[in-house]
Structure 1
Amino acid sequence: MESLTIILTFLLSLFLIFKLLPNKKSDPSKPLNLIPGPKRLPVIGNLHLLAGNTPPHHVFRKLSAQYGPLMRIQLGGLPYLIVSTVEVAKEVLRTHDLAFSNRPPGLAAEAFSYNYTGVGFAPYGEPWRVLKKLCTVELLSMKRVRSFRHVRQEETENLVRFITAAAGDGAAVDLSEKVHLLAYDIVTRASVGATTKDRLKVMHITRGLGNFGAGFNAADLYPSVKVLPFLTGIQFKIEKMHREMDGMFQEIIAEARAAEKDDGFEDLLGILLKCQAEGSEMAITDDDIKAVMLDMFLAGSETSAAVIEWAMSEMVKNPVTLKKAQEEVRKVFDKTGRVDEERIHELEYLPLAIKETLRIHPPLPFMMPRLNSSKCTLNGYEIPSNTRLIVHAWALGRDPQYWPDAEQFIPERFQASTIDYKGNDFQYLPFGSGRRLCPGMNFGVANSDLALATLLYHFDWEMPRGLRNQDLDMVEDFAITVRRKNPLILVPTLKRPLNVGK
């Protein structure tokens, strides 16, 4: 009965879309219609190609192999361009970086970024430049990231205590859940100075936002049908979640203003409130602060957790790699009996494994969508202004032209490589590139480095009884970030007890 209701609602929505959409015939002379792409159906365009269980980034990669490095795809009422090769990505992100520095509008993005005031969704312009400068210089500089070292240390040690308590008699643990909680706790403490009572609510809201971004929701794909947000119910869901999030953030801000802190620790909220009180290059409102906080929770926690989760998955599935990383970590940290960031730089192999994880499992398989502000030419085609474009980072990281054995997890491929995270090598864009390069890159990498070193140092890791390492499934769950579809369940054996006194 429930499935029948869903089908009837879908058919009704389609009927209304047919009636409400302007009747425009495809004009083959228009520039976008000259770009290769799969055949489009009336009204839905190519949405039918995304039906089923195959994640969109897999679908688009397969289609791009058929239609070329710059592909036109029609998602409902909107044309998108999908960029899947290094050469065209370079045109977008270097030659036309300024033109493609804007973001397309969206219902969820507008609401949750407080009318596009956060770093991630703000339109390119002076307010965004000031905010980006504030983030890179004040909030997320290397100096500031280092100041959060004790937060990372304490939270990873708390994780070790939990796993140690849960690991008796060969018991398995849900490592996915634990690393996500770890990431949220680190981000929360760095952002607001404490793990607030709303810790689980923050997780709930952040994951809910990720799901909004995953579904290519109909209201965004048919912007000319103004009643669609209400017909689909998406408007009410967004408003409900926004009220919940806004109330939580307002309460946190009020508590921070009322608190008298003298512990010498400066969290991100405190810095923002100080800039607000003292004045800066632009007036900072409470909504601006909330938008930046949401950027931190959304980008800082989900991405770090995904990297840790996939790195552990790949190493467990490849025991030789796991052993090599583990032996190195223990060789370095057995000198003190404790994993700490002072000696992380002595590791050589684990950073290679993290780089390889980011190649094969970039947290954002599609770089955030872009919208060009002026007409330009890509791959020989004229691109009108206000065209939506997606750079397919997941496909670039698996391009066999640049990555031999591209589907294999081989950390050694980075051993003599100069490729880094800064977005100058277009076959490797885990944090984006150009003006929209992620300002939280250093923060995310620091969180992943320490957490992985800690997990490898203290514990041996095995599959649950009856399962082989090579049987570990790697099925993806597509949202804004790509997580494991099924939790990573492993059996830890304590090998190096926690000794914080050394």
Structure 2
Amino acid sequence: MFSARRLDDGAGNRREKVSRLVDYLRECSAKGRAVDLGQAAFVTTFNLLSATFFSVDLIGFESDATQQLKETIKGVTKVLGAPNVADFFPILKRLDPQRIKKRLEFYFGGLLGVLGGIIDERMKSTPKELETKNDLLAALLDLMDGSEYDLTYKDIQHLFMLDNGARDVTKGGSDSTQSTVEWAMTELLANPDKMRNAKNELTSVIGEKNQVEESDISRLPYLQALIKETLRLHIPGPFLVPRRADRDIEIGGYIIPQHSQIFINAWAIARDSSIWPNPTSFEPERFLNNNIGFKGQDFELIPFGSGRRICPGLPLADRMLSLMLGSMLHNFEWEMEGGMRPDTTDEFGMALHKAVPLKAIPLYCN
């Protein structure tokens, strides 16, 4: 689903979703209304992924279902990121003293209900309607109908919940992309000179009237630099995906026992003063004079991990981040409601969210 060929084929779908985002921001601009930028980015990314997997848009920009789904996914990441005493004292697992298992059952139950509804609706479709579907759900239902695989209804539900690629539609892709877009706009609103640099680049490269296209991204080095700097300063998953040692191993003079659970503190690496000058400052310019990337080859910046367990949705996130941020900056001027400075406090968890959602007023400028 995330191969270069399939992503190229899906360029029109991404363009449509970003166009809807721009239309929504334009409506808010006409009414002088502040926008919850995190939620707007969440809806855009989630609908892109749901269209890829299920050929439907599941949520809207302003609906109760959107807020409920966002809170459910945020709840999953918060509970999964919470320290669990039962991890250190396995005898307590059955007791679940912090009710972590109970809360996860509640959140995952909600997500399974959403997935179940989608699958039920598809299974009621006529053969003619099914012929028009060319998504992951269609492929899985074909396998369920075949005789070669013993795939059940529940298997399909849980594949979307647990599989690395499909998990992006329910948690990873929408949550981390939303977080990065929100943090990028927060830093740009707090640093107007950086925002002006990005807008000037967009105007000079693609013109005032043209829309940002994926083919433009490689010609926008400052936009790419500010995304890298956002991922460095506000890494979506501070400890990445947990690892487990398959044997005793010595690293740096320390013995890591077999079966130990290992967390990589990518947040600390990205703020290490021996690697990054002025590590707590937002300085996209630091990436203009080097080839450091975030795709796993440069270990000083690994927001998506590295190696065989790198985030499978990275190629899609890379395109969507550039397309969404580029469109937000190129089409609108932005100001904080009441002229306040944006809050930059973060909230620790499996994903590093803003403690206070970013709400800003778009001023349409094209």
- Shorter chain as denominator, the TM-score bin is 0.7 to 0.9
Determine whether 1:266 maps to 2:128.
Answer: no
Query: Residue 486 of structure 1 corresponds to which residue in structure 2?
Result: 356
Structure 2 CA distance for aligned equivalents of residues 289 and 171 of structure 1: 36
Q: Deviations over 1:50-87 (max 9, x none)?
A: xxxxxxxxxxxxxxxxxxxxxxxxxxxxxxxxxxxxxx
| Amino acid corresponding to residue 138 of structure 2 in structure 1 | G
Structure 2 CA distance for aligned equivalents of residues 338 and 219 of structure 1: 51
What's the offset of the Cα at 1:314?
Answer: 1.2
Q: Deviations over 1:128-178 (max 9, x none)?
A: xxxxxxxxxxx1112222222222222222222222222246443222222
| Amino acid corresponding to residue 112 of structure 2 in structure 1 | D
SS in 1 for 2:263: strand
Query: Residue 288 of structure 1 corresponds to which residue in structure 2?
Result: 159
Structure 2 CA distance for aligned equivalents of residues 190 and 399 of structure 1: 38
In the alignment, which of 64, 71, 76 is matched to residue 204 of structure 1?
71
Determine whether 1:178 maps to 2:40.
Answer: yes
What's the offset of the Cα at 1:274?
Answer: 4.4
Evaluate the alpha carbon distance shift between residue 249 and residue 338 of structure 1 in structure 2; reply closer, same or farther with a 3 A threshold: same
Structure 2 CA distance for aligned equivalents of residues 266 and 199 of structure 1: 25
Q: Deviations over 1:71-107 (max 9, x none)?
A: xxxxxxxxxxxxxxxxxxxxxxxxxxxxxxxxxxxxx
What's the offset of the Cα at 1:315?
Answer: 1.4
In the alignment, which of 75, 82, 101 is matched to residue 215 of structure 1?
82
| Identical-residue share of aligned pairs (%) | 30
What's the offset of the Cα at 1:247?
Answer: 3.0
Determine whether 1:241 maps to 2:103.
Answer: no
Q: Deviations over 1:433-473 (max 9, x none)?
A: 11211111001111111100110111001222343xxx322
| Amino acid corresponding to residue 208 of structure 1 in structure 2 | G
SS in 2 for 1:254: helix
Evaluate the alpha carbon distance shift between residue 331 and residue 154 of structure 1 in structure 2; reply closer, same or farther with a 3 A threshold: same
Determine whether 1:341 maps to 2:211.
Answer: no
In the alignment, which of 175, 179, 200 is matched to residue 306 of structure 1?
179
SS in 2 for 1:460: strand
What's the offset of the Cα at 1:237?
Answer: 2.9
Query: Residue 62 of structure 2 corresponds to which residue in structure 1?
Result: none
SS in 2 for 1:412: helix
Contact 1:184 1:203 (C-alpha < 8 Å) held by counterparts: no
Structure 2 CA distance for aligned equivalents of residues 147 and 261 of structure 1: 20
Evaluate the alpha carbon distance shift between residue 278 and residue 327 of structure 1 in structure 2; reply closer, same or farther with a 3 A threshold: farther
Alignment of 1:385-464 (within 5 A): 385-464=258-337
SS in 2 for 1:167: helix
TM-score (norm 1): 0.65
SS in 1 for 2:92: coil
Structure 1 CA distance for aligned equivalents of residues 360 and 81 of structure 2: 28
Contact 1:367 1:390 (C-alpha < 8 Å) held by counterparts: yes
Question: 397-406 or 174-183, which moves further after superposition?
Answer: 174-183
Evaluate the alpha carbon distance shift between residue 323 and residue 275 of structure 1 in structure 2; reply closer, same or farther with a 3 A threshold: farther
SS in 1 for 2:347: strand
Structure 2 CA distance for aligned equivalents of residues 201 and 466 of structure 1: 30
Evaluate the alpha carbon distance shift between residue 289 and residue 455 of structure 1 in structure 2; reply closer, same or farther with a 3 A threshold: closer
Structure 1 CA distance for aligned equivalents of residues 68 and 331 of structure 2: 30
Evaluate the alpha carbon distance shift between residue 241 and residue 310 of structure 1 in structure 2; reply closer, same or farther with a 3 A threshold: closer
| Amino acid corresponding to residue 260 of structure 2 in structure 1 | T
What's the offset of the Cα at 1:288?
Answer: 2.6
| Amino acid corresponding to residue 251 of structure 1 in structure 2 | G
Determine whether 1:228 maps to 2:95.
Answer: yes
Q: Deviations over 1:4-42 (max 9, x none)?
A: xxxxxxxxxxxxxxxxxxxxxxxxxxxxxxxxxxxxxxx
Structure 2 CA distance for aligned equivalents of residues 218 and 379 of structure 1: 27
Contact 2:296 2:305 (C-alpha < 8 Å) held by counterparts: yes
In the alignment, which of 19, 36, 43 is matched to residue 157 of structure 1?
19
Determine whether 1:495 maps to 2:354.
Answer: no
Alignment of 1:19-58 (within 5 A): none
Structure 2 CA distance for aligned equivalents of residues 438 and 276 of structure 1: 27
Alignment of 1:133-152 (within 5 A): 139-152=1-14
What's the offset of the Cα at 1:350?
Answer: 0.3
Evaluate the alpha carbon distance shift between residue 257 and residue 144 of structure 1 in structure 2; reply closer, same or farther with a 3 A threshold: farther
| Amino acid corresponding to residue 221 of structure 2 in structure 1 | E
Structure 1 CA distance for aligned equivalents of residues 89 and 285 of structure 2: 46
Structure 1 CA distance for aligned equivalents of residues 87 and 189 of structure 2: 40
Structure 2 CA distance for aligned equivalents of residues 173 and 153 of structure 1: 21
Alignment of 1:351-362 (within 5 A): 351-362=224-235
TM-score (norm 2): 0.87
Query: Residue 318 of structure 1 corresponds to which residue in structure 2?
Result: 191
Query: Residue 329 of structure 1 corresponds to which residue in structure 2?
Result: 202
Contact 1:459 1:492 (C-alpha < 8 Å) held by counterparts: yes
Q: Deviations over 1:292-311 (max 9, x none)?
A: 33343211100111111111
Question: 374-383 or 210-219, which moves further after superposition?
Answer: 210-219
Structure 2 CA distance for aligned equivalents of residues 325 and 342 of structure 1: 17
State which structure, 1 or 2, has the greater radius of gyration over its C-alpha atoms.
Answer: 1
Structure 1 CA distance for aligned equivalents of residues 67 and 136 of structure 2: 20
Unpaired segments of 5 or more residues in structure 1?
A: 1-138, 497-502
Structure 2 CA distance for aligned equivalents of residues 372 and 151 of structure 1: 40
SS in 1 for 2:275: coil
Contact 2:269 2:301 (C-alpha < 8 Å) held by counterparts: yes
Q: Which runs of 4+ in 1 moved over 6 A?
A: 278-284
